[in-house]
Amino acid sequence: MTVVLSAVVYAGGLVFLVGCALRIRQYSRAPLHLRWELYPVPHEAPERAKHGGSYFEELDWWKHTRHYNLSGDLRFMIPEMVFLKGLWEFNRKLWSRSFPFHFGLYLLIGSGGLLGASALVSIWHPVWTAGGIWFVIHAIYKYAGLAGASLAVLGSLGLLIRRLTDDNLTNYTAPADLFNLLFFSTTFSLLLTGYFVNASRFPGMLAFTRHLITFRSTPWIPDLLVAGIVLLAILTAYIPYTHMSHFIGKYFTYHSIRWDDAVNFPGGKIEKRFAEYLTYRPTWSAPHIRADGTKTWADVVQENPAKEPHR
Amino acid sequence: MSLKKRVKISDASREDGQPLVHLQTEDLMPLPAPLNAPRQVPPFSPLSAQVTEKYECLLDDTCVVNVPKPKTKEEEQELVRKFLAGLEKLFQRENNWPFLQPLILTMEHCARCQTCSDACHIYEGSGRNEIYRPTYRAEILRRLYFKYVRHGGLVSQFQHGDIKLNWPLIARLIELSYRCNICRRCAQVCPLGADNGLVARELRKVFSQEMGIAAKELHDKGSMLQLKVGSSTGMTPLVVKDNVNFIDEEMSEKTGIEVKTPWDVEGADVLLIHNAGEFLAWPENPGAFAVILNAAGVKWTLSSELLAYDSINYGLFYDDMQFARVALRHAQAAKKLKVKKIVLGECGHAHKALSVIGDRLLLGDLNIPRESSMTLLHDIVMSDRLKLDPSQNDFPVTLHDPCNLVRLMGVVQPQRDILYKICPKFREMEPHGVNNYCCGGGSGFAIMKGCNFPDWRFQVSGRKKLAQILNAFADSLGPDKPKYICAPCSNCKGQFRDMLAYYDLWEKEKILYGGLVELIVNAMTDVKPGFIDWEWH
């Protein structure tokens, strides 16, 4: 049983990683776009970042060395990622449901990571599993996992109810939006109930994880927990192929677009990439464009449709 | 009685030949005093029968693009085919490399949580009318993308929803793409970084670049006229020089010091490019620039090269090719004059066009440094190169932040520092800076005057800004107290001129609008007092 379960869990993880890799490849291979930043840009110099200013506020800005203010980025990103600060500011009603959901997932991911690491340690260096610190670690992943699953269930149900009842959202709700939230709440509910049902017979998550890693059979696992784990593996595999992969998309929307204020200096890397794009051959067919599939972008933009006869 | 109702996404494909919504004054966002009584607001003029017979007006009670109704089913089908071809090109690397990455990310990651709706001044101003949500048009495009570009089948429908593509949908999308100021306030609040403002611009591109459909003020009378004669005002180099000579004479008389605008000075430190609309509508603005730059000893010049005396670049709002053509010619003129830098006058979209969006298009020796006039003026004023007496500006002043200059370019503080120094009664609007609201004339609306579109522009898209202005001057209402909106942007000034006149706020409240340089010259002690003449223009 555990062997099959191990295979399902690993397959889910593998499909997830492939999906994420494909997404990352798709976005990172997209051509560098024209500048389209939005201020404030937090990596600006602190004296300008506080009012949302840019280097354009400096006289002869191109003569000054620019310093990338990484701490500004981090000061924005950490509260945004951990606490969903933007939602807190601009959509408090949604935050009250979305934050528990996301924070629950973070706790679960952290708990899963700690559990996996503990299982590895207990396999390779069982001698390290003695002592007080081990009990603390055990308690952390246990309670973080339980809290995380509970929050994720509550959050996903809250989001589901909002999707179903809020007039502002119904117009924009596809069947999959409801399905996804139901999927999350069912999966984590099963994991929670599966954990608590007949807990005395279950050898515990650490033993179970060890067996997953070593492909050994666990003596007894509650059916509900098995169902929860299978659903979790499927859910994990499914996420990167939906808009729920926004944890990847968000990196690009912020770092590659919203905060991309990189200057095109003569002879620089940006110039080289744009010189290549200007050799592409557009096929837009409105008469004023004058593109016929043979001319390059550089040719087309040199033409003056108001002056020169159409060749 | 209010006719407001929840319009569905599927309604956009309705074939009943009727508009999706009717706008009712009582549905709109309430305005503060003195416009809080309904009778203070002019009625919304209906579209004429001639217009509705001839053009597709299927969205709301106005019409701006004026797309002729197809005469036959075959013509309709041909338009649908063209739209589909354009849609496909919008997601191709060769055709849309300039905005492919942001567009795809927006298509694939919007959670449709509606956080952006509450940030949109048009949605709020309209009294939260469904079709003006930033997500309404974006959701239509998103469903089209998954269905026709990604060729999604039933699974895709389950994931993203379905949409029926027909000519009425496209006709409505054409108009809908011109119900957004592209101020991108919606994108600023999006927790995922999706940009539904970009969607409006990308839709306009499909219509212009593939179907040859665009608002005539932007295309025929805008970028095409500019490429033909040198300026979208229609001014040729000869005419503009003549006008500037006249402005110099006027300014000399008005200020008591000789004003001479230099032309085509090779090797000048600064090539100043104004929005040419200033020469005709607000000549005191380029005049004030000349007074300040001469007094500060700047080595500057204007260029009489074709296009180089008009910083307008309407391609920014609807067409990448037209945008690139104009930006390129601006840079070529600067290169020819061998100037050290280009400085952009008080025009927000020209700032963004040449400094930000055009940055990566100007390669090699065309990459001449571009700078905001706000920065240059800041240096001149703060380094005390002019003798200024703030008491000459002793009237309430508020600052409008042009979106293109502030949220989209990050030039926020220089103009504020100047105003704090020279205007003792300066007060901010709320919110301001990068969180500002658009004037309602953004993305070319300020120059669109067809049919009854101005009613929509002043009652819906400009409504939030109007409320901000009235609130900023709440402590000094009344016709006996002159008040000044400082709007360092030609497009925004056009919107204020028309909107203040529409609500009769010059007569009733003595609210004037103008640029930043006028306030600086008004405070200069070396010139005759009273540069700002408190007359409506």
Residue B403 within a domain: yes
**pLDDT tens digits, one per residue of A103-115:** 999 999 999 999 9
Q: Name the residue facing B375 among A26, A58, A265 (closest C-beta).
A: A58
Distance of alpha carbon A81 from alpha carbon A74, whole angstroms? 10
Q: Which domain holds residue B135?
A: 9-210
Task: Give the closest residue to A156 by CA, choosing from A229, A244, A90, A247.
Answer: A244
Residue B535 within a domain: no
B65 plus B132 within the same structural domain: yes
Residue B191 within a domain: yes
CA distance A289 to chain B (A): 7
B114 plus B171 within the same structural domain: yes
Distance of alpha carbon B43 from alpha carbon B64, whole angstroms? 19
Distance of alpha carbon B296 from alpha carbon B378, whole angstroms? 12
Q: Compute and round to an integer the Cα radius of gyration of chain A.
A: 26
pLDDT given at position A127: 78
Q: For tokens 């005396």, name the residue.
A: B309
**pLDDT tens digits, one per residue of A208-241:** 899 888 888 877 889 999 999 999 999 999 999 9
Element (H, E) at A160: helix A132-165
| Cβ-contact B264, B237 below 8 angstroms | no
CA distance B449 to chain A (A): 23
Task: Give the closest residue to B368 by CA, choosing from B289, B223, B271, B298.
Answer: B271
Given a cut of 60, whether residue A126 has pLDDT beyond it is: yes
Residue B224 within a domain: no
Closest residue in chain A to residue B368, using alpha carbons only = A266
Q: Name the residue facing B102 among A44, A257, A282 (closest C-beta).
A: A257
Closest residue in chain A to residue B209, using alpha carbons only = A286
B197 plus B250 within the same structural domain: no
Closest residue in chain B to residue A29, using alpha carbons only = B101
Distance of alpha carbon B73 from alpha carbon B388, whole angstroms? 68
Give the CATH number for residue B361.
3.40.50.1860
The two three-digit tokens of residue B502, written as one number: 């529409």
Element (H, E) at A224: helix A223-238
Closest residue in chain A to residue B212, using alpha carbons only = A286
- Does residue A176 sit at the B interface (CB-CB below 8 Å)? yes
CB atoms within 10 A of CB B232: 27
Closest residue in chain B to residue A41, using alpha carbons only = B410
| Cβ-contact B13, B166 below 8 angstroms | yes
Residue B215 within a domain: no
The two three-digit tokens of residue B70, written as one number: 């197809």
Residue B4 within a domain: no
Q: Which residues of B touch A261 (CB under 8 A)?
A: 410
Helices (H), ranges, B30-99: 49-54, 73-90, 93-96
Buried b (16+ CB within 10 A) or exposed e, B417-443: ebbebbbeebbebeebbbbbbbbbbbb
The two three-digit tokens of residue B2, written as one number: 């209010």
pLDDT given at position A197: 87
Of B346, B378, B410, the last residue of a domain is B378
pLDDT given at position B4: 56
B117 plus B152 within the same structural domain: yes
Task: Give the closest residue to B335 by CA, choosing from B370, B387, B311, B360.
Answer: B370
Of B153, B181, B210, the last residue of a domain is B210
| Cβ-contact B349, B342 below 8 angstroms | no
Residue B285 within a domain: yes
Distance of alpha carbon B252 from alpha carbon B525, whole angstroms? 15
| Cβ-contact B4, B135 below 8 angstroms | no
Distance of alpha carbon B484 from alpha carbon B516, whole angstroms? 10
CB atoms within 10 A of CB B308: 24
Distance of alpha carbon B120 from alpha carbon B132, whole angstroms? 9
Distance of alpha carbon A52 from alpha carbon B408, whole angstroms? 10
Q: Name the residue facing A59 among B89, B119, B376 (closest C-beta).
A: B376
Distance of alpha carbon A143 from alpha carbon A192, whole angstroms? 12
Helices (H), ranges, B423-504: 453-456, 463-472, 490-502
| Cβ-contact B136, B9 below 8 angstroms | yes
B420 plus B315 within the same structural domain: no
B180 plus B157 within the same structural domain: yes
Distance of alpha carbon B421 from alpha carbon B377, whole angstroms? 12
Interchain contact, A91 vs B100, CB within 8 Å: no
Interchain contact, A300 vs B410, CB within 8 Å: no
Which of B145, B157, B360, B436 to mutate to probe the A interface, most A CBs <10 Å? Answer: B360
pLDDT given at position B502: 95
Reported ipTM: the value is 0.95
pLDDT given at position B126: 96
Interchain contact, B224 vs A288, CB within 8 Å: yes
Given a cut of 80, whether residue A1 has pLDDT beyond it is: no
B42 plus B138 within the same structural domain: yes
Interchain contact, B189 vs A38, CB within 8 Å: no
Distance of alpha carbon B85 from alpha carbon B396, whole angstroms? 54
B24 plus B145 within the same structural domain: yes
Residue B452 within a domain: yes
The mean pLDDT value for A262-275 works out to 95
Q: For tokens 């744009």, name the residue.
A: A274
Q: Which residues of B touch A60 (CB under 8 A)?
A: 341, 369, 371
Is residue A308 very low, low, confident or very high in pLDDT (cuts 50, 70, 90)? low
CA distance B532 to chain A (A): 27
- Does residue A92 sit at the B interface (CB-CB below 8 Å)? no
Q: How far is CA B51 from CA A200, B55, B65, B168, in A?
A: 78, 6, 11, 17
Buried b (16+ CB within 10 A) or exposed e, B356-378: bbbbbbbbeebbbebbbbbbbbb
The number of residues making up chain B comes to 537
| Cβ-contact B278, B239 below 8 angstroms | no
Closest residue in chain B to residue A35, using alpha carbons only = B357
Interchain contact, A30 vs B100, CB within 8 Å: yes
* Overall domain count for chain B: 3
| Cβ-contact A54, A261 below 8 angstroms | yes
The count of C-alpha atoms lying within 13 angstroms of the C-alpha of B520, restricted to the half-sphere facing its C-beta, is 32
Q: Name the residue facing B97 among A172, A256, A277 (closest C-beta).
A: A277
Instruction: Please give the share of chain A, as a percent, with pLDDT higher than 70.
Output: 98
The number of residues making up chain A comes to 311
Of B210, B241, B274, the last residue of a domain is B210
CA distance A304 to chain B (A): 7
Q: Which residues of B touch A272 (CB under 8 A)?
A: none
With a cut of 50, list the residues of chain B below it in pLDDT.
1-3
CA distance B414 to chain A (A): 7
**pLDDT tens digits, one per residue of B401-433:** 999 999 999 999 999 999 999 999 999 999 999
Q: What is the mean pLDDT of chain A?
A: 93
Task: Give the closest residue to B527 by CA, choosing from B243, B259, B249.
Answer: B259
B369 plus B404 within the same structural domain: no
Task: Give the closest residue to B270 by CA, choosing from B348, B347, B337, B336.
Answer: B337
Q: Which residues of B touch A59 (CB under 8 A)?
A: 371, 375-376, 378-379
Interchain contact, A33 vs B99, CB within 8 Å: yes
B68 plus B27 within the same structural domain: yes
Is residue A60 very low, low, confident or very high in pLDDT (cuts 50, 70, 90)? very high
B82 plus B120 within the same structural domain: yes
pLDDT given at position B5: 65
Closest residue in chain A to residue B325, using alpha carbons only = A301
B152 plus B62 within the same structural domain: yes
Q: Which residues of A touch B325 (CB under 8 A)?
A: 301-305
Question: Could you tell me which residues are beta bridge partners of residue B271?
Answer: B301, B342
Distance of alpha carbon B52 from alpha carbon B17, whole angstroms? 10
Q: Read out DSSP for A94-155?
A: HHHHHHHHHHHHHHHHHHHHHHHHHHHHHHH-GGGG-SHHHHHHHHHHHHHHHHHHHHHHHH
Q: Which residues of B touch A175 (CB under 8 A)?
A: 158, 161
Interchain contact, A27 vs B225, CB within 8 Å: no
CB atoms within 10 A of CB B248: 18
- Does residue A174 sit at the B interface (CB-CB below 8 Å)? yes
- Does residue A161 sit at the B interface (CB-CB below 8 Å)? no
CA B235 to chain centroid: 21
